[in-house]
Amino acid sequence: MSHYPLLAVLVSLLAAGAILLSDRRPNVREAWTFVAAAVKFLLVVSMLPTVLAGGVIEATYAELLPGWSLHLRADLFGLIFALLAAGLWILTSIYSVGYMRAGHYTHQTGYFASFAVCLSATMGIAFAGNLITFFLFYEMLTLATYPLVVHDRTEEAVAAGRKYLAYTLGAGQLLLLAIVAIAVLAPGAAFQPGGFLMGKAPLGVLGLVFVLGLIGVGAKAAIMPLHSWLPAAMVAPTPVSALLHAVAVVKAGTFGCLRLVHYVFGVDLLRAMGADTVLAVAAALTILLASVRALGEQNLKRRLAYSTVSQLSYIVLGAALGSTAAVAGAMFHIVAHGFMKITLFFCAGAIYVKTHKLEIPDLAGLGRQMPITFGAFTLGALGLAGTPLFVGFISKWNLGMGALQSGQAVFLAVFVASGILNFAYFFPIVYTAFFGRPGQAMRFDEVGAALWAPLAATAVVSLILGIYPNAGLQFYHLAWSAAESVMAGAGQALAGGGTP
Amino acid sequence: MTAHLPVLIVVLPLAAAVIVPLISLASAKAAFAVACLTLAAAAVASCKALSHVLAHGALRYELGGWAPPWGIEYVVDPLSGGVAALIALIAVCVVVYAGPQVNGGSSARGGMFHGLFLLLVTGLLGIVLTGDMFNLYVFLEISSLAAYALLASGGIRGTVATFRYLIVGTIAATFYLLGTGYLYALTGTLNMADMAVRLTAVMDTRAYGVAVVLIVIGLAIKAALFPLHGWLPDAYTYAPAPVTGFIAAVMAKVSAYALFRVLYFVTPAEGASAQALMLLGWVSVIAVLAGSILAMAQQDIRRMLAYSSVGQMGYIVLGFALGTPAALIGSLLHLFGHAVMKGCLFLAVGGIRWRTGIYRISDYAGMGRRMPLTMAAFVVAALAMIGLPPTLGFFSKWYLLSGAVEAGAWLFVIALVLSSLLGIVYFFRVFEFAYLKAPEAGQPTPPRQELPLHMLAPILVLTAAVLVFGLLNQQVVGGIIRHALPGALAP
């Protein structure tokens, strides 16, 4: 029994309460956010050595349903997500304070409180040891994000909020149905590398359950055609888009997807059902179609949103391919995409705060006015396109290797095509910014340090991780170990003939 | 002392119902204090009886020393004890909420209110604890008459709605009485346990079938099961807030309890009762959906909640109809959970109307700032109604869903999921108005007007119960509900 995972969940939940009580004193209120972010990060990092050494840190609390307790467990895969979210929360908090104050936003107390609750839910998702715990925090994340999406209280924001709820809560009900069915088939089962459902029911029944569960997590992972809430939700303030729509919410979806495929069903069961091909094709189509759609968007945030839709399906595709390298690549891409995409969203926010421009043709020449911002943007874009020396290359290399290992070289072509499309929709932005002809002369006029420092930091990190993928928090090592444990578990499940 | 608990639970509020209006002529505060203390005593007694029963088995009390099956018997078993404790505890919350001066009326009217309220609680506790079919009818009428008087005190529209309820309710009680008469003619007994033994011999007769149909219809009207729900929305809408809070929370539940008691403990499992349950299953699927759809169409928040209750009664009956252990656990947990959640919602909404006069959903703009704690309680209870974890409403839905999945009743599964989605629609509409819409431009921002403590505290206690019992639902399920299942299904 170790309570570290629970503490990591609770610290920001308690902070949310403190933030609400400090409504009238903004500096005290923001201090709570930073204290909670720092404590949370330290708690998560302190679990790293044990988990790297092959241990798990877990504890069970109140029994929620027969055999299913509130079970929190830090394993290899969960820790990847937790480290990423906790680390980026610190940077996002700095950025948020700068952004919200520079933009003179109202309702900031509710904003920071909801943000803290979101981070609690994200930790809970990362550390969930079984499906009921996962579902509890998954729904909590949906609810805590809703106030952030509708933050502006405009007609457009309210409409986006409705769309968001319709997709995520609707999908949540299907996920619930899948979890109920799994509870009937395998009562009280915890997540297990390699899955635990093999042989529990006829393939047809399991296939139906898989589809329900996949829709449940796929809506948050924005797999087409369940993606359209994500571009709509871009109406939220940019830090929200950055952390929640590039890191926490959508990554919770892809994280759930990997958990469902490799810790509940198992890749062999998936292949027996034929679901791996279906999932892979859906993901590949999402990658390509969303990239094409991104080409057609003239609004920067919406283009980034479609880019996110496309990149998330890298992870889903990696999960579906199911070879060691593909799974490792998918898990690592959660981190890689997190750092790169948050850089781009931070940049979009910085541009908006400074110039109130988000249409791409209006950005002409801004690279000379805001060199740090656009420099970081360029690094992030290069990374997302999978250029060597950037973190995006590492995950894409592994995903491509995985496609070959699974004997499905066609998906390697998808990754390559997507890389080209990434260049096609990012580089016009970079070109316009640096070489476009502005209406007036441009002078150096960068945003405040609270805004540029976080985005420079994430850009630099995505460069460092591209050269030394194990630097600092050992993400690459964690991803490979997790992938290997999943494969070993799958082997055992197969050897055991599916008996529990 | 413990041996007398079953009757004490009923007699205490009955005695107080007579005394309290008299005391109120002298002092409203004293009358209020007596009412509170009596209900608290009844709550303590029922909790004590429940814990005794869980440890040592059912408590039986022979009224007046006449041995059953001739005399009237009061029985506390885990089922009746649990429901009695629920009624008494909610009654305590509501009486504190109502306070000494109900609706700012004179102290004599306050005394009448408390007297009638105590009588209503007496009736409901009697229905739950009695082991006698005819005695159940008597208590059904006591509770109904008290309820009519209370509901009618909400102004002229309340009086009209109550008159309608009076007619429908009397018909329902008559159905029940006729059915009981048939059973008495067939078996020669009115004691439930005795009747259960004797009915197996006559279960093939046509008269038995008719009796089951009459009783089921009577109780289904009382439980406001769609399409027999017509009396409920008006009655709930125009009554004073504390009355609605209590009646919406427990009154229909007690009828559902009676339905469960008769169909699972008195009548034989096969034959007419099984057919009745199957029919009730289909009806309740329609009820679940129709209640939710009608709730979406309402502009008056009280009517919205009332129609939502119609749908939720469908949940409870649906579990009875499925009849698997998981589904029955779901029903009983929902019976408990819905009482807490709906009580909380109606008390919150009633408090908002009492404070601001607002009851239309479209007027709720800015309510999140005007009454933050009351609205927060409303939000938590509403999320529980939708069935989101970790609230109590999620876990009852879980058991119902898993019961339906186990039984392969896919239509029921679809109905339950759809109803949650519809619940999201009508509750988030309220959230949008309360939190996202600013009050109309030009109007001064209304000040913060939170409820006084005696009204807020019961609301917050119920809100906390929604969350705490959600996380601790295994204690409720394993400790009480599993023991309350009918013999063949209990562990």
Task: Answer whether residue A157 shows pLDDT above 50.
Answer: yes
* Dihedral pair phi/psi, residue A443, rounded to 5°: -115, 160
Q: In the predicted model, what is the mean pLDDT of residues A283-289?
A: 92
Tell me if the bond preceding A469 is cis, omega within 30° of 0: no
Scanning every residue of chain B, which has its alpha carbon at the shortest distance from the alpha carbon of A153? B436
The pair of structure tokens assigned to B12 is 């205490």
Q: 10 Å Cβ neighbour count for B49?
A: 24
Which of B131, B153, B180 is where one domain is finished? Answer: B131
Contact B226, B180 (CB under 8 A): no
Residue A263's nearest CA partner among A130, A457, A424 is A130
CA distance B133 to chain A (A): 36
Q: Are B232 and B224 in contact (CB under 8 A)?
A: yes
B318 and B381, same domain (yes or no): yes
Mutate to test the interface with A, among B435, B437, B448 (most CBs of A within 10 A): B435
Q: What's the rounded Cα separation, in Å, for the pair B119 and B134?
A: 19
Shared domain for B136 and B153, answered yes or no, is yes
Please state at what angle helix A449-467 crosses helix A371-384, rounded to 10 degrees.
30
d(CA B477, CA A134): 22
Q: What is the pLDDT of residue A98?
A: 85
Q: Is A469 strand, coil or helix?
A: coil
Full residue range of the structural domain in which residue B466 is found: 132-484
Q: Spell out a b/e string for B104-140, using b for 16 or more CB atoms within 10 Å of the CB, else e.
A: eeebebbbbbbbbbbbbbbbbbbbbbbbbbebbbbbb
Answer yes or no: do B15 and B106 share one domain. yes
Residuewise pLDDT in 10s, chain B (491 residues): 788 888 999 999 999 999 998 988 888 888 889 999 999 999 999 999 999 999 988 889 888 888 888 889 999 999 999 999 999 999 999 999 988 766 555 556 777 888 999 999 999 999 999 999 999 999 999 999 999 998 888 778 888 889 999 999 999 999 999 999 999 999 999 999 999 999 988 888 999 999 999 999 999 999 988 888 888 888 888 888 888 889 988 998 999 999 999 999 999 888 888 999 999 999 999 999 999 999 999 999 999 999 999 999 999 999 999 989 999 999 999 999 999 999 999 999 999 988 888 889 988 888 888 898 999 999 999 999 999 988 999 999 999 999 999 888 889 999 999 999 999 999 999 999 888 887 666 666 777 888 888 899 999 999 999 999 999 998 888 888 888 888 766 55
Predicted pLDDT at A497: 47
Residues B165 and B65 in one domain: no
3-class state of residue B71 by DSSP: coil
Report CB contact under 8 Å: B388, A139.
yes
State residue A373's pLDDT score: 87
CA A478 – CA A464 distance, rounded (Å): 17
pLDDT level of residue A64 (50, 70, 90 thresholds)? confident
Task: Give bridge partners of residue B74 from the DSSP assignment.
Answer: B61, B130
Q: Does B491 map to a domain?
A: no
Domains of chain A, residue spans: 4-495
In a domain, B309, yes or no: yes
The answer to whether B338 touches B308, Cβ cutoff 8 Å, is no
Pick from B33, B143, B13, B146: which is nearest to B96 by CA?
Answer: B33
Tokens of A14: 């308690």
Tokens standing for B445? 């921002």
Interface test with B, best of A180, A182, A200, A205 (most B CBs within 10 A): A180
Which pLDDT does position A467 carry in this prediction?
85
Do B318 and B234 share a domain, yes or no?
yes
pLDDT at A493 exceeding the cut of 70: no
Cβ of B401 within 8 Å of Cβ of A64? The answer is no
* B31 in a structural domain: yes
**B395 touches A at CB < 8 Å:** yes
For B453-482, the three-class secondary structure string (H helix, E strand, C coil) is HHHHHHHHHHHHHHHHHHHCHHHHHHHHHH
In this structure, which long-range contacts are made by residues A405-410, counting pairs with CB atoms below 8 Å and at least 24 apart in sequence? A405/A321, A405/A323, A405/A324, A405/A325, A405/A326, A406/A321, A406/A322, A406/A323, A406/A326, A408/A280, A408/A321
Cα(B134)–Cα(B132) distance, integer angstroms: 6
The residue written with tokens 């409504």 in the block is A23
Strands B59-62 and B73-76: antiparallel
Q: CA–CA separation, B36 vs B42, rounded Å?
A: 10
Report the percent of chain A where pLDDT is more than 70: 98
CA A21 to chain centre: 30
DSSP H or E stretch at residue A59:
strand A57-65
Q: Which of B417, B438, B473 lies at the smallest CB-CB distance from A173?
A: B417
* Residue B154 DSSP SS3: coil
Asked if residue A257 lies in contact with residue A214, where contact means CB atoms within 8 angstroms, the answer is yes
Shared domain check, B359 and B221: yes
Co-location of B375 and B237 in the same domain:
yes
Interface test with A, best of B292, B324, B375, B388 (most A CBs within 10 A): B388
If you measure CA to CA, which chain A residue comes closest to B401?
A180
CA pair distance B173, B137, nearest whole angstrom: 7
Q: Do B242 and B350 belong together in one domain?
A: yes
B441 Cβ under 8 Å from any chain A Cβ: no
Q: Where are the alpha helices (DSSP H) in B27-155?
A: 28-56, 78-98, 107-129, 133-152
> Chain B contact for A139, CB < 8 A?
yes
Query: Is the residue at B490 inside a domain?
Result: no
Residues contacting residue B170 through CB under 8 Å, at least 6 positions apart? B144
Q: Does B438 touch chain A (CB under 8 A)?
A: yes
In this model, does residue A498 exceed pLDDT 50?
no
Please judge whether B405 and A136 are an interchain contact, meaning their C-beta atoms are less than 8 angstroms apart.
Answer: no
Instruction: Say whether residue B22 is in contact with chain A using an 8 A CB cutoff.
Output: no
Contact A158 B405 (CB under 8 A): no
| Whole-number pLDDT of residue A499 | 42
Chain B residues in contact with A204 by the CB 8 A cut-off are none
Q: What pLDDT score does B100 carry?
A: 75
Q: Closest Cα partner for A138 from B402, B24, B390?
A: B390
**Which single residue is written with the structure tokens 């890389």?**
A419
Q: What is the pLDDT of residue A254?
A: 92
> Strands A68-74, B73-76: parallel, antiparallel or unpaired by DSSP?
unpaired
pLDDT, one tens digit per residue, over A114-153 is: 989 999 999 999 999 899 999 999 999 999 999 999 888 8
DSSP letter, residue B59: E
B436 — contact with chain A (CB < 8 Å)?
yes
Closest CA to A430 of A337, A351, A312: A351
Q: Which residues pair with A299 in a beta bridge?
A: A359
Contacts of B421 in chain A (CB under 8 A): 169-170, 173
Identity of the amino acid at B350: G
In order of A113, B370, B449, the CA distances from B438 in angstroms are 20, 11, 17
Q: So what's the pLDDT on residue B106?
A: 55
In chain B, which residues have their Cβ closer than 8 Å to the Cβ of A173? 417, 420-421
What are phi and psi for residue A202, nearest 5 degrees?
-60, 150
> Looking at the domain assignment, is residue B143 inside a domain?
yes
- Going from the C-alpha of A297 to that of each of A129, A300, A306, B82, B327, the distances in angstroms are 40, 8, 9, 61, 50
Cα separation, A313 vs A337, whole angstroms: 11
Q: Is the peptide bond before A438 cis (omega within 30 degrees of 0)?
A: no
Are B266 and B212 contained in the same domain? yes
Quick check: B291 and B311 in contact, CB under 8 A? yes
Within an 8 Å CB–CB cutoff, is residue A185 touching chain B?
Answer: no
- Give SS3 for B240: coil
Q: Which two tokens stand for residue B440?
A: 């109309």
Whether residues B56 and B179 fall in one domain: no
Joined together, the tokens standing for residue A36 give 């909670």
Same domain, B36 and B175: no
Q: Give the whole-angstrom CA distance, residue B455 versus residue B460.
A: 9
Count of domains forming chain B: 2
Cβ distance of A64 and B474 shorter than 8 Å? yes
Last residue in a domain, options B100, B131, B162? B131
Q: Is A320 helix (H, G, I), strand (E, B) or coil?
A: helix
Specify if B86 maps to a domain: yes
Residue B61 β-bridge partners: B74
CA distances for B195 relative to B53, B184, B185, angstroms: 23, 8, 11
Q: Are B82 and B50 in contact (CB under 8 A)?
A: yes
**Beta-ladder partners of B60:** B75
Interchain CB distance below 8 Å, A184 and B417: no
